[in-house]
Amino acid sequence: MKNIIFIAPPAAGKGTQSDLLVEKYGYIHISTGDLLREEIAAGGELANEISSIIEAGKLVSDELVATLLTKRLSQDDVKKHGFILDGYPRNIAQAKTLEEILEEVQSSVDVVIYLELDEENAMKRALGRATCPKCKKGYNLYLEGFKPNVDGICDNCGTALETRSDDNEETFKSRFQTYMDSTSPLLEFYRAAGLLRNINSLQDKNKIFEEIESVIQ
């Protein structure tokens, strides 16, 4: 299978599609956040350094992330099953670092999939998210097919739904614009390399998955 980089704005469904690919094809899903948490949990040689940086409220350096990525991408399961990179690279400098890492571990990126989603629909998805605190069933208060039968109440157990306290229009618009500003050059970088494939994420998740399958096979 083709090695994949996923790029997507907030609420575009990147996590859902990654899960479907892992389930059907056995891909190894790699996110830098998970790598950092796993290194800390395992007590690896960098665990104390990473913990100290995070506890101080600082960002982990690109160099440190690159070290963890090199380690993970060189492992046998990744070479056997292929990888999905999620959340990395975030800019052209990281993209060039990734090229060096992949050359070192004798691998490559085969396709970069961009899940397109406009700001208005992204905001509806993000701000409409609600979860039952009891049974953990998820809903969206604004999207047909995902609304609860009774406003604000879980269909399964009748518990009042909870929304994320950090989800509001102002913070979302800022987050979305920041993402788009930083991502646009990266998309052009991969378009110029002939690796970029755009997929409309407003479609049903199964239709999106079919389009992704047509790209990777």
Which is catalytic among the residues 2, 71, 147, 175? 175
Count other C-beta atoms under 10 Å from residue 149's C-beta: 8
Annotation says 175 is catalytic: yes
Which is catalytic among the residues 96, 164, 173, 207? 164
CA pair distance 149, 139, nearest whole angstrom: 10
Sheet containing 138-140: which strands, arranged edge to edge? Answer: 138-140, 129-131, 162-163
Annotation says 147 is catalytic: no
Residue 21: both structure tokens together: 């690919």
Annotation says 72 is catalytic: no
Annotation says 191 is catalytic: no
Which is catalytic among the residues 2, 71, 79, 90? 90
C-alpha distances in angstroms, 31 versus 119, 162, 186? 24, 27, 17
Annotation says 14 is catalytic: yes
Give the phi and the psi of residue 197 in degrees, each rounded to 5: -130, 125
Catalytically annotated residues? 14, 90, 129, 164, 175
